[in-house]
Amino acid sequence: MLDLAVVGAGVGGCYCAYRLVTDTGPGDGIALFEQTDRIGGRLWSEPVRDAPHLIAELGAMRLHRGLRSALALVRHLGLDLAPFEFGRPENLVHRRGVAMRCRELPGDRIVEAAERLVPGFAELRRRHHEAEERGDRRRSESLLDVFRDQRDQTRVSGRPLDELTWPHALDFALGPAAVAFLHDTGGYDLRRSGENAATQLDLVFRTPPDAEYVTLRHGMQGLPDALHARFTAAGGTTRTGHRLVRLDKEADHYRLTFTTPGGDRHTLARAVVLALPPEALRRLDGLPLARHLRPALDAVEPVPAFKLFLVYPRPWWRELGITRGRSTTDTALRQLWYGGTCPATESTGPALLLAAYPSGHSVHAWAPWRGGPPHPAAEAGHAATAAMVEHAHTLLARMHDLPDLERPLSACRQDWTAAWHVWRPGHDPRVIGPRTRQPIPGEAIHVVGDCWTPDPGSIEGTLASADDLLRVSFELPDPQWHTGPPR
Ligand SMILES: Cc1cc2nc3c(=O)[nH]c(=O)nc-3n(C[C@H](O)[C@H](O)[C@H](O)COP(=O)(O)OP(=O)(O)OC[C@H]3O[C@@H](n4cnc5c(N)ncnc54)[C@H](O)[C@@H]3O)c2cc1C
pLDDT digits (tens, 9 = 90+) for 189-226: 998 899 999 999 999 999 999 889 999 999 999 999 99
pLDDT on residue 53: 80
Q: Residue range 298-323: average pLDDT?
A: 95
394-404: pLDDT as tens digits:
999 999 999 99
**Confidence class of residue 51 from pLDDT cuts 50, 70 and 90?**
confident
- DSSP sequence for 324-344: SEEEEESSTT-EEEETTTSPP
Ligand 1, atom 35: closest residue by C-alpha: 8
DSSP 123: H
Distance, in Å, from the CA atom of 161 to the CA atom of 141, rounded to the nearest integer, reads 21
Whether 50 shows a pLDDT value over 60: the answer reads yes
Whether 59 shows a pLDDT value over 80: the answer reads yes
Ligand 1, atom 50: closest residue by C-alpha: 60
Atom from ligand 1 closest to the CA of residue 457: 19
Distance, in Å, from the CA atom of 340 to the CA atom of 346, rounded to the nearest integer, reads 14
> What is the Å distance from ligand 1's center to 157 Cα?
37
DSSP 360: G
> What is the Å distance from ligand 1's center to 119 Cα?
36
Do 277 and 447 contact (CB within 8 A), yes or no?
Answer: no
Distance, in Å, from the CA atom of 404 to the CA atom of 407, rounded to the nearest integer, reads 9
Instruction: Write down the CATH number for the domain with range 47-89+302-419.
Output: 3.90.660.10
Q: For the beta carbon of residue 282, count every other beta carbon within 10 angstroms.
A: 13
Distance of CA 456 to the CA centre of its chain: 8
Distance, in Å, from the CA atom of 29 to the CA atom of 45, rounded to the nearest integer, reads 30
> What is the Å distance from ligand 1's center to 91 Cα?
30
pLDDT on residue 223: 98
Q: Residue range 224-245: average pLDDT?
A: 96
- Give CA angle at 178 (209, 104), nearest 5°: 65
Which of 85-89, 106-110, 113-117 has the highest average model confidence (pLDDT)?
A: 113-117
Whether 436 shows a pLDDT value over 80: the answer reads yes
Out of 160-164, 296-300, 342-346, 464-468, pick the least confident: 342-346
**Confidence class of residue 349 from pLDDT cuts 50, 70 and 90?**
confident
SS3 105: coil
Ligand 1, atom 16: closest residue by C-alpha: 458
**Confidence class of residue 107 from pLDDT cuts 50, 70 and 90?**
confident
**Confidence class of residue 374 from pLDDT cuts 50, 70 and 90?**
confident
Atom from ligand 1 closest to the CA of residue 307: 1
Atom from ligand 1 closest to the CA of residue 416: 53
What distance, in Å, lies between the first and last C-alpha atoms of the chain? 36
**Confidence class of residue 299 from pLDDT cuts 50, 70 and 90?**
very high
DSSP 251: T
- Hey, what amino acid is at 201? L
> What is the Å distance from ligand 1's center to 474 Cα?
23
**Confidence class of residue 96 from pLDDT cuts 50, 70 and 90?**
very high
- Hey, what amino acid is at 102? C
Contacting residues for 10 by C-beta, under 8 A, at least 6 apart: 40, 41, 42, 43, 224, 275, 462
pLDDT on residue 341: 77
Do 8 and 274 contact (CB within 8 A), yes or no?
Answer: yes
Q: For the beta carbon of residue 23, count every other beta carbon within 10 angstroms.
A: 14
Atom from ligand 1 closest to the CA of residue 242: 43
Contacts 24+ apart (CB under 8 A), 37-40: 37/240, 37/241, 38/9, 38/240, 39/9, 39/14, 39/221, 39/224, 39/225, 39/228, 39/238, 39/240, 40/9, 40/10, 40/11, 40/14, 40/221, 40/224, 40/225
Atom from ligand 1 closest to the CA of residue 8: 34
Q: What is the phi/psi pair of residue 130, to 5°?
A: -60, -45
* Strand ranges in 443-482 using DSSP code E only, listed in sequence order: 445-447
> What is the Å distance from ligand 1's center to 257 Cα?
22
Please return the burial class of 405, using the count of CB atoms within 10 Å of its CB with bins 0-12, 13-18 and 19+.
Answer: middle
* Strand ranges in 85-170 using DSSP code E only, listed in sequence order: 92-95, 98-101, 155-156, 159-160
pLDDT on residue 275: 98
- DSSP sequence for 174-240: H-HHHHHHHHHHSSS--TT---BHHHHHHHHHHSPTT--EEEETT-TTHHHHHHHHHHHHTT-EEE-
Nearest to 12 by CA among 27, 34, 29: 34
Do 44 and 221 contact (CB within 8 A), yes or no?
Answer: yes
> What is the Å distance from ligand 1's center to 43 Cα?
6
- Three-class HEC string of 293-318: HHHHHHHEEEEEEEEEEEEECCCHHH
Identify which of 42, 225, 436, 467 to mutate to test ligand 1's pocket (most ligand atoms within 8 A of the CB). 42
Q: Residue range 247-251: average pLDDT?
A: 96
H-helix or E-strand spanning residue 11: helix 11-24
pLDDT on residue 484: 60
What value does the mean pLDDT of the chain take?
A: 93
Whether 485 shows a pLDDT value over 60: the answer reads no
What is the CB < 6 Å shell around ligand 1? 7-13, 33-36, 41-43, 59-63, 243-244, 275-277, 280, 305, 307, 416, 419-420, 449-450, 457-460, 462
pLDDT on residue 344: 67
> What is the Å distance from ligand 1's center to 15 Cα?
13
> What is the Å distance from ligand 1's center to 301 Cα?
15
Distance, in Å, from the CA atom of 267 to the CA atom of 156, rounded to the nearest integer, reads 53
**Confidence class of residue 171 from pLDDT cuts 50, 70 and 90?**
very high
**Confidence class of residue 427 from pLDDT cuts 50, 70 and 90?**
very high
| Sign of the torsion angle spanned by Cα atoms 338, 342, 345, 347 | negative
pLDDT on residue 342: 75
Atom from ligand 1 closest to the CA of residue 245: 41
Distance, in Å, from the CA atom of 323 to the CA atom of 344, rounded to the nearest integer, reads 9
Instruction: Write down the CATH number for the domain with range 2-43+221-287+443-472.
Output: 3.50.50.60
Where do the domains of the chain lie? 2-43+221-287+443-472, 47-89+302-419, 104-210
**Confidence class of residue 378 from pLDDT cuts 50, 70 and 90?**
confident
DSSP 441: T
Q: At what angle do helices 121-134 and 137-153 cross, to 10 degrees?
A: 160
Whether 335 shows a pLDDT value over 80: the answer reads yes
Do 128 and 204 contact (CB within 8 A), yes or no?
Answer: no
Whether 48 shows a pLDDT value over 80: the answer reads yes
Whether 21 shows a pLDDT value over 90: the answer reads yes
**Confidence class of residue 28 from pLDDT cuts 50, 70 and 90?**
low
Q: What is the phi/psi pair of residue 61, to 5°?
A: -135, -10
Nearest to 178 by CA among 112, 115, 125: 112
Identify which of 420, 460, 469 to mutate to test ligand 1's pocket (most ligand atoms within 8 A of the CB). 420
Identify which of 276, 281, 436, 460 to mutate to test ligand 1's pocket (most ligand atoms within 8 A of the CB). 276
Ligand 1, atom 53: closest residue by C-alpha: 419
Do 95 and 83 contact (CB within 8 A), yes or no?
Answer: no
Whether 487 shows a pLDDT value over 70: the answer reads no
Do 50 and 410 contact (CB within 8 A), yes or no?
Answer: yes
Q: Residue range 247-258: average pLDDT?
A: 97
